[in-house]
A and B are shown apart, each in its own frame.
Chain A
Amino acid sequence: MRALLRNTARGGEPVVHGADTSDMTVSLKVFHAGVLEYESASFASIPYGEYAEVSEDSCPILADEHKEHLLIAHCRRGGGDQYYAQEHQLIYEPGSGGRTTSLVYDQLPVGSGKTSSILLLAPKAWVSRDVDTFICVANAGNPRSGGATGSSWQIEFLEQGGSIIHALSLDLVQNGSHLIDVKRELQGHFVVSDQPKMLTVVARGDSAGAVILTFLVNRKTQAVALEHSLSPHYYMNGDLSRVRREAFLFPGIKGAAN
């Protein structure tokens, strides 16, 4: 895995005359299962137009391939501490064959306000004998009220007819990540064949600070596709608070679609 942190114009817009072209400084924290394992207050200073790479070369703790890590990069420009909206790039290279998959991704900062709920709608999970889907939920949210840490999640796997094939609950540690292996979760609930079948994964969590990525993998060829999800505001522009509230009713009507 590599991440390219960019100090450039955002989203391909040309540099506007008089725009802020100051350096971007980066502090980096690396967690494993909620435990801080590495911290650098001055990980990088990136001149305008350049990038810095986060990888096992620049951060050797990432070399452990059997351990998942959650990275929080705090990017600042100028002397202030305000959020700098930018899309950074993730690069995953499965195996040593030279193939890579990339995602430019815009992630909101770790918030300091109250915890709010999050909805995941992922109509993009395929499973077959060779193909599997992994949904990675990285919980960088705030502690829950009352000082409890972690984040409760309800996850449903739906077949195309709308029936719930399987459901599970997760309690994610704060500053930890969880990889949902869709095919493994569906063992005993869904029969896979040679032909990939598309399923929808719906998830509700109580931490809006989570980062959710979907990896589609052909285990035989090591092909990997990577994409982020689209949050509800991409699909609708109405009463988002009501949607977040009512969507949590979904497990209570299990079987209604049958």
Chain B
Amino acid sequence: MTSLIARTKDVLRPLKRRVDKVLPRTLRVAAPVVQAFLGGEYQTRYTLVNFPSLYSPSTAHPCIYDVALHAADGSLIGRRELRIAPFGSLEVRPEEIFGTDLPDLGMFTARIRSASALTFAYKHLGTVTSHFYALYSDRKDTSLALVHPQTLVDAVSGSQMAWQSGYLLDAGKIRKLVAVQINPTSTAATSSLHLFRAGADAEHLGTRTGTIPSMGARKVSWDLGDIGLTHGLFSIAAHGLPTTNAKPVLVTHFADGSFSGMHA
């Protein structure tokens, strides 16, 4: 009986492939893409783009992004549907779509989908992933940090990971380092961050261990002088990450009060 089923499937498989080629199908999408939200002294913007239309311009269609914003404790602040024209893009200012009563810290998620269920223009794109950029600034855009996202909702857990950033940061220029971690999974995650001098990774400086709620975020800050980092190069490492690529966003504050930032 099992062999009969297998043979039947073998016979039907080419037919299914032929039918799949001609039937409409909406975009096949990966899990939502996520990135940190910074409020308070910071300002955050995200850039969504109708990339399927740019990759397949002769059959361009509008698209919809389903976006959501979560607070640091994981609670949902809001969800919205955002429509983007062919070849278009959208600068998302969270205060304009989720209201002005926003937390200082959170997590933004975005997932693209077809505006129409009856289009098959993008079948050749395969599975699409809704990447976007985040721009962090102060309220007057006097400081700027541009960061691409790194992880998706419910990506593979990095709870057992020992990770070191590839960045070497200059303690002679940076006064304060802020690391922002997000947890885009359905369970709380524990992560321990520490700093270390270049070439001396056995000595952990400023270890900060904490639990990040499901769909939440945490922010860790080091005044480098307080932990003896006043000169030379240093880096950041973690034991345990919410997902394997959920590395912290780093915000580097300088002596003049300005900041820059990067994905670690």
Residues of A within 8 A of B (CB): 4, 6, 8-14, 49-51, 87, 89, 91, 97-104, 119, 121, 123-124, 126, 128, 130-131, 158, 160-164, 196-200, 202, 214, 216-218, 220-221, 223-228, 230, 232, 234-239, 242-243, 246-247, 249-250, 253, 256-257
- Given A98-B173, A160-B90, are A218 and B54 neighbors across the interface (CB < 8 Å)? no
Q: Number of B interface residues at 8 Å Cβ cutoff, please give it.
A: 62
- A218–B56 contact, CB under 8 A? no
Q: How many A-B residue pairs have CB under 8 A?
A: 193
- Given A97-B254, A100-B173, A100-B260, are A221 and B143 neighbors across the interface (CB < 8 Å)? yes
- Using CB atoms, name the residue of chain B closest to A131: B141
12 contacts between A and B (CB under 8 A): A12-B163, A97-B258, A99-B173, A99-B254, A99-B260, A162-B86, A162-B89, A198-B45, A198-B91, A223-B141, A230-B131, A257-B85
- B88–A160 contact, CB under 8 A? yes
Q: Does B127 contact A (CB under 8 A)?
A: yes
Q: Does B97 contact A (CB under 8 A)?
A: no
The smallest beta-carbon distance between B2 and chain A, in angstroms, is 33
- Using CB atoms, name the residue of chain A closest to B129: A235
Knowing that A98-B173, A104-B167, A162-B50 touch, tell me 16 more A-B residue pairs with CB under 8 angstroms: A87-B166, A100-B170, A100-B254, A100-B260, A101-B260, A123-B89, A130-B141, A161-B85, A162-B85, A216-B135, A217-B144, A225-B260, A236-B55, A237-B127, A239-B124, A243-B124
Q: Does B47 contact A (CB under 8 A)?
A: yes
Distance, CA A14 to CA B161, complexed state (A): 9
- Using CB atoms, name the residue of chain A closest to B252: A100
Distance, CA A13 to CA B125, complexed state (A): 31
The smallest beta-carbon distance between A161 and chain B, in angstroms, is 5
Q: Which residues of B contact A217 (CB under 8 A)?
A: 144
**Interface of A, helix, strand, loop or mixed by DSSP:** mixed
Distance, CA A50 to CA B198, complexed state (A): 8
Distance, CA A220 to CA B47, complexed state (A): 24
Q: Which residues of A contact B256 (CB under 8 A)?
A: 97-99
Distance, CA A103 to CA B60, complexed state (A): 34
- A246–B56 contact, CB under 8 A? yes
Interface flags, B137-159, vs A, CB<8A=1, else 0: 00001111111100000000000
Distance, CA A223 to CA B167, complexed state (A): 19
Interface flags, B46-79, vs A, CB<8A=1, else 0: 0111111111111010000000000000000000
Distance, CA A188 to CA B36, complexed state (A): 36
- B45–A257 contact, CB under 8 A? no
- Using CB atoms, name the residue of chain B closest to A236: B125
Distance, CA A11 to CA B54, complexed state (A): 31
- Using CB atoms, name the residue of chain B closest to A246: B56
- B89–A238 contact, CB under 8 A? no
- Given A89-B168, A123-B49, A243-B56, are A198 and B147 neighbors across the interface (CB < 8 Å)? no
Distance, CA A131 to CA B168, complexed state (A): 27
Distance, CA A35 to CA B236, complexed state (A): 39
Q: Which residues of B contact A11 (CB under 8 A)?
A: 166
- A124–B135 contact, CB under 8 A? yes
Distance, CA A178 to CA B90, complexed state (A): 27
- B89–A160 contact, CB under 8 A? yes
